[in-house]
Structure 1
Amino acid sequence: MGTPLTFVWSWPGVDAAAINPTTVTISRDPCGRWYVSFAVDVEEPTPLPATGAVAGVDMGIKDFAVTSDGVKIANPGHLARRARNQRRMARKVKGSSNRNKARAKVARAHRKVRASRADFLHRTSTRLVRGHDVIVLEDLAVKNMVRNRALAKAISDCGWGTFRRVVEYKAARAGRHLIVIDRWYPSSKTCSACGHLLPTLNLGTRVWACPGCGALHDRDVNAAKNILAAGLAVSACGADVRPQGSSLRQSATKQELPWRREESPSFRAESSQSIPFRWMTPRYHSALSLSTRRWVP
């Protein structure tokens, strides 16, 4: 008979002997730790009470997220914590015991990074969902953005894709309204006060003054305000436009196509897309197509 393993239960409010799991998964990570995961049937959660608050969210690298009410959430920069151990391992002789020890340290550093990132994303998404009835995000093409070698590591460290997925299922469970607008909407270059559109705006420009009304804008806060306005516009129309899987011009950076101010945005309803959770609420819009005939497939 084998030696029994120490079992640490991670849910103090749940009786392990009372659950009736449908699936049990046992896994082992590179650090040698074993994990047991249970899949169980649970009751449909009760929607959270309404707050009356709405938020547009602009994702970034220096600031992980900036909301339309001016709140900036700093990026913790998880990858910097493991760089030192990786450099030490690179200096060890391959096949040596010292290299194996260094590899174990790198594996533990990776585990800490994963745990820290997951904790940050869950805390941030929970606070966002609990505090707002309507949440508007951008439909960022993360897989294409990481093709930019100068920003690939920083973008991957942010975990934008995971954050969106977490917000999606938490919003569905809480009865919140989540809207995802088109990635080509020029949120940073448009004045949130008067609607003036700049022809260009460099990534290094963090504050700019509107030549139309003279308003001074923080780039990210202004973008978040415009994201919120675009999301509320499509919500008012009751449209559910462009499914998330549709084809669109690809880019390796977070770009905004040039628009002419006199052209009116066109909304085109094509199909809806469900969230793969049985407690989903029917008020989810998959995307917003603010585009001219050039970009509508």
Structure 2
Amino acid sequence: MKARYQYRFYPTDQQRQRLAQLFGCVRVVWNDALAICKQSEKLPKNSDLQKLVITQAKKTVGREWLATVSNIPLQQSVADLGVAYKNFFDSLKGNRKGKKVGYPRFKKKTGRQSARFRIGGFSLKGEEVYLARIGNVKPIWSRSLPSEPSSVTVIKDAANRYFLSFVVEIAPAVQPVINPSIGIDLGLKVFAALSTGEKVYSPSYSKLDRRIRRKQRKLARQVKGSKRREKTRLQIAKLHNQISDTRKDFLHKLSNRVVNENQVIALEDLNVSGMVKNRKLSRAISLQGWREFRVLVEGKSQKLDREFIAINRWEPTSQVCSECGFKWGKLDLSIRSVLCINCGAEHDRDENAARNIEKVGTGHCHDSKWTGSDSKTTSVASCVEPSRITAPLGR
């Protein structure tokens, strides 16, 4: 199994200049190759593209500076464009899982920059990493690499931070299991309600988000191309990085704990792209990172040989009593606590939904009839008739 290990490094002034040249050359090669692909009736082969945008381009006056950087990242840029086209066509045909992939786009000067080195373009020398035509850089080794890397990507983000991202081969680890299964209900005020009764709250991003919105209004009033506008853009990028790093740290720690302690993890398949169309909640939903959490849990489940289950988004998990299976119908979002009129059990809305997610995911329905079908509702909801709610216990 392949994994990425990322480390930050601080290049010298001379290395910054060389990296800026490298990023520019990689960007130009990508854009030239993409322009040729758009003009061609049939998609050219990678080898033909490399001859056009690298080998022959170096002999022209307008692109002779391509020879000042290593050839490996330039070739890899063309190969990455071929992968981007393959992902796009596979997504169109429905052969690719996950979110739809768009058509490849031209790269810009501003924002994130990257260049990838294959074997032959880099080497590990003790605590340092040698990059062809760049020199030796010393990353901050927060952890050791589990095996020899097959490639390394040099990244410069929008806030001018530099990273080395290694691709390595890892073996699935063996972790003792504490619980056989768990259900997780994701929300806004409570990020994750677990079927064990625990509630996990996400960090507050509101203060940083307000600062970003204020800086963005300031950016909109400044003259394009001015130094003050670039300074404000950099400040906004740093604030975005603070939110991203805080969220990433929280999601990694929570997903690690969930996957390490449970054999079966059940999540609801939320329609996040549809939910963010709600103008009142879109910003809050985007800040939470529900999709990122699901991707992390799914990937780490494969790594530790756990079973990940995403139940149907149409399952009425908030409309059914997790004790007796009595269906009381839809609830207003202001109702946070419910008393079941059938069995008398008192439920917290989020905890009840998490328990139902676990039951549907593991197939342990109330009437013990599990068919495994992908229909919109299962016997969890259909075993009883709908009913009214007599006593909402909280708001």
* Matched residue, 1:166: 296
Q: Distance in 2 between matches of 1:111 and 1:188?
A: 35
Higher alpha-carbon deviation: 50-59 or 128-137: 50-59
2:188 to 55, 61, 78: 61
* Matched residue, 2:163: 35
SS in 2 for 1:40: strand
Q: Distance in 2 between matches of 1:103 and 1:164?
A: 31
The code of the aligned residue for 1:73 comes to V
Is residue 266 of structure 2 the alignment partner of residue 143 of structure 1?
no
1:231 to 361, 369, 378: 361
**What percentage of aligned pairs have identical amino acids?**
36
* Matched residue, 1:210: 340
1:202 to 1:234, Cα distance in 2 relative to 1, 3 A: same
* Matched residue, 2:315: 185
* Matched residue, 1:104: 234
Q: Distance in 2 between matches of 1:207 and 1:187?
A: 14
The code of the aligned residue for 1:63 comes to V
* Matched residue, 1:26: 154
Alignment length (residue pairs): 245
Residue 49 of structure 1 and its aligned partner are, at CA, apart by 2.0
* Matched residue, 2:217: 90
Residue 233 of structure 1 and its aligned partner are, at CA, apart by 0.9
* Matched residue, 2:109: none
Residue 75 of structure 1 and its aligned partner are, at CA, apart by 2.3
1:103 to 1:68, Cα distance in 2 relative to 1, 3 A: same
The code of the aligned residue for 1:148 comes to N
Q: Kindly provide the CA deviation profile for residues 109-152 of structure 1, in whole angstroms up to 9, marking residues without a partner as x.
A: 01111111111110000011111122111111111111111211
Tell me if the contact between 1:77 and 1:157 (Cα under 8 Å) persists in the aligned partners.
Answer: no
Tell me how large the CA RMSD over aligned residues is. 2.8
The code of the aligned residue for 2:192 comes to A
TM-score by length of 1: 0.73
Stretches of structure 1 that go unaligned for 5 or more consecutive residues are 243-247, 250-258, 264-297
Higher relative contact order (Cα pairs below 8 Å, separated by 6+ residues): 1
SS in 2 for 1:84: helix
The code of the aligned residue for 1:183 comes to R
TM-score by length of 2: 0.56
Tell me if the contact between 2:266 and 2:357 (Cα under 8 Å) persists in the aligned partners.
Answer: yes
* Matched residue, 1:3: 14
Q: Pick the structure with more strand per residue.
A: 2
Higher alpha-carbon deviation: 190-199 or 61-70: 190-199
Q: Distance in 1 between matches of 2:257 and 2:251?
A: 10
Larger Rg: 1 or 2? 2
Is residue 326 of structure 2 the alignment partner of residue 196 of structure 1?
yes
Residue 241 of structure 1 and its aligned partner are, at CA, apart by 5.4
Tell me if the contact between 2:177 and 2:260 (Cα under 8 Å) persists in the aligned partners.
Answer: no
Residue 4 of structure 1 and its aligned partner are, at CA, apart by 4.1
* Matched residue, 1:175: 305
Q: Kindly provide the CA deviation profile for residues 23-70 of structure 1, in whole angstroms up to 9, marking residues without a partner as x.
A: 22112111112222121233x223212324421110101111000111
